Chains A and B, each alone.
Chain A
Amino acid sequence: MRTILYIIQKEFLQVFRNKSMLPIIFIVPVFQLIILVNAATYEMKHIRVSVVDLDLSGTSRKLVSKLQGSPFYQIEGTTFSYLKAEDEMKRGNIDMILHIPADFEKKLLKEGHAKVQFVINAINGQSAGLTNAYSTMILLDYNREVLLENATPAMMAGVKTIQTDYSYWYNPKLNYKTYMVPGILVLLITIIGLLLSGMNIVREMEIGTIEQINVTPINKIQFITGKLMPFWIIGLFELAFGLTIGKLLFNIPMEGSLGLIFLSASVYLFVILSFGLLISTITHTQQQAMLVSFFFMVVFILMSGLFTSIESMPLWAQNLDRLNPLMYFIKIMRMVLLKGSGFADISNYFWSMVIYAVCSLSLAIFRYRKVS
């Protein structure tokens, strides 16, 4: 026990003596939180629109002004040539064309229906979908107004409308920041855990100190515990630090129990740290370890549900995602922080992580050998 404690003490000494380590622990998280949370947002603002209004009637202008009044749109210009507008889109200057044909008002009043066209730049499918959804909503709203304006009371009686009202649960203001912060915190402790732990042991191999350690009577368990504990502590500290920043800067909700968050985090960190350890047993230099960690990290992060929803992935990818530790912990973080879920709600994810931790840790310990 004294040996383990001393190894931990030594690791901390080395971590804090390393000049690049303190900024990594304290400054990087703040920056990542501030930059990523503000930048990685799904909210669509400033959709640049070019209006091709060939009708120029009161009715068509009303539609245009409705777009103008919305915070999401920004009218970049009006033109009478559809081709010109299309040219602008090709150059990437606008995101959407609103095309109103010449006989729009006439048709609407006489025949009761008319057509408008939205041409949306769909290079980014996700934002195109959102633009489409916003625009359709505006058009629906506009439709109802037109209908009410032109209808006689007799007609009104015949029209049955269903009023739809929305209320968004768990995130009533649809604030993306509160959604992103928990996920990005997971990202942070993953990077710290995976990179630092993996590289730490490989570094001992690189500078040869592992030889000197290996000839000592210290056993595998003592060595690994001594190696992992410091990063486990740093990881938990990092989470606390990140949560504090999240609370102070973004005022993220903390509906559930913080104890539950830290309990899950401590299990999650075991998964990540043993992953790092495993990587260190198959690599020989810090560079190799870094590259291998990066490979796993990119796959894990992109499939973690941080940026894209897991439910919309193909089924095979969803099944594959069961192997993704990030996915479990991001789910837990969001559920506990935003929804206030209790242990019963997250137990499925929690136990999955426990199994994961046990498996990866035993594999790492099994793989780590003092004798070559």
Chain B
Amino acid sequence: MSVPSVHVQQLTKRFKDTLALDDISFDVGRGELFGFIGPDGAGKTSLFRILTTLLLADAGICTVEGFDVVKDYRQIRKISGYMPGKFSLYQDLTVEENLKFFATIFGTTIRENYDLVKEIYQQIEPFKNRKAGKLSGGMKQKLALSCAMIHKPEVLFLDEPTTGVDAVSRLEFWEMLKRLKASGITILVSTPYMDEASLCDRVALMQSGRIMTISTPQEVISNYPLSLLSVKSGDIYTLLGELREYPGVHSVYAFGQSAHVAYQKNDITPESLHFFLKSKGHKQVEIIETVANIEDCFMELMTSPMKE
């Protein structure tokens, strides 16, 4: 990582009495797929808006490809592509008209950069005469990505691109991002979905305007400090509450059909827990030792500072 593609140093942004971004610093290398994970209101959108020159920061330095977001905002607008969280293309224009419009105002044409968007655009090309407002969520998102890409940006900012999109389209979308990354584009993507974090090169966990941690998904998992049990029972609802009462339990989260119980190593044995649950009247109890996935890690990271 020689010269960072995006460089942020001690960035602070305040909206009246809420601190949206609190002294944030990070670097994103060229060609990196960098994810921001965090709940709503963590400051992801504000950060993206500052980096795309739509919002002015109160303090701190931000550069994109070496250009300062305040001084050189014109250059940044030429080399970056932005896909806002809210679908914001012209609903009353057709797919093709939208793409053509954005190509034109970036001073290029669809034909010139067709190769770049080809793979994505081809999927919606059969509907090119349909109005953008009439597209499905997944198709809208593909169109928005095409429009954000049509001018061959060097850095791509995708603000919650997969929110409100079905699971299959989400997967497809991440596949596309990987291929884009392969062509050397730096991609910054934010998402509230923790499972998407493992698809990034590096992730920053954001909460209440602060970055809790920046590391690769593998590091996040290997740094998980606790042990984990996956517990199943016929009655998942009472199970969660009763597990939290059990001494030595650090935290309990519902995870699909089972509950994940986190505990300090040696505090709990699966056998004693099994006995406890039986005594509470649970049937079909099933306890397996399991490895933490990225979601467990984030749950732990997000709750730990509050307990301090």
Contact = CB atoms under 8 A, between A and B. Distances in A.
Contact of A212 (B56, B89, B97): B89
B54 A213 contact: no
A215 B102 contact: no
B147 A212 contact: yes
B186 interface: no
Overall SS of chain A's interface: helix
Contacts of B92: 14, 17-18
B243 to A, nearest CB: 43
Interface string A123-147: 0000000000000000000000000
Interface string A212-225: 11111110000000
A352 interface: no
Interface string A1-27: 011001100100110011000000000
B181 interface: no
A210 B52 CA distance: 13
Contacts of B56: 371-372
Contacts of B97: 10, 13
A6 B77 contact: no
A207 B91 contact: yes
Contacts of A10: 90, 93, 97, 101
B87 interface: yes
A208 interface: yes
A211 interface: yes
Given A10-B93, A207-B88, A212-B82, A217 B54 contact: no
B107 interface: yes
A70 interface: no
B25 to A, nearest CB: 22
B104 interface: yes
Nearest to B153: A215
A307 B57 CA distance: 52
Contacts of A372: 54-56
B86 interface: yes
Given A14-B93, A212-B147, A371 B54 contact: yes
B106 interface: yes
Interface of B is mostly: loop
Contacts of A2: 104, 107
A150 interface: no
Given A7-B105, A10-B101, A211 B77 contact: no
B86 to A, nearest CB: 5
A251 interface: no
B63 interface: no
A209 interface: yes
A112 B92 CA distance: 82
Nearest to B85: A208
Given A3-B104, A13-B97, A212 B88 contact: yes
Contacts of B84: 208, 211-212
B42 to A, nearest CB: 19
Contacts of B55: 371-372
A188 B28 CA distance: 56
Contact of B77 (A17, A18, A207, A215): A215
A212 B102 contact: yes
Most buried by B among A13, A210, A215: A215
Given A211-B54, A211-B84, A215-B82, A14 B105 contact: no
Nearest to B86: A208
Contact of B90 (A3, A209, A214): A209
B93 A13 contact: yes
Interface centre among B55, B78, B80, B82 (most CB of A within 10 A): B82
Q: Which A-B residue pairs are the 4 nearest by beta carbons?
A: A208-B88, A6-B104, A215-B82, A217-B77
20 contacts: A2-B104, A3-B105, A3-B107, A10-B101, A207-B88, A208-B87, A209-B88, A209-B89, A212-B82, A212-B88, A215-B52, A216-B105, A216-B106, A217-B74, A217-B78, A217-B106, A370-B54, A371-B55, A371-B56, A371-B73
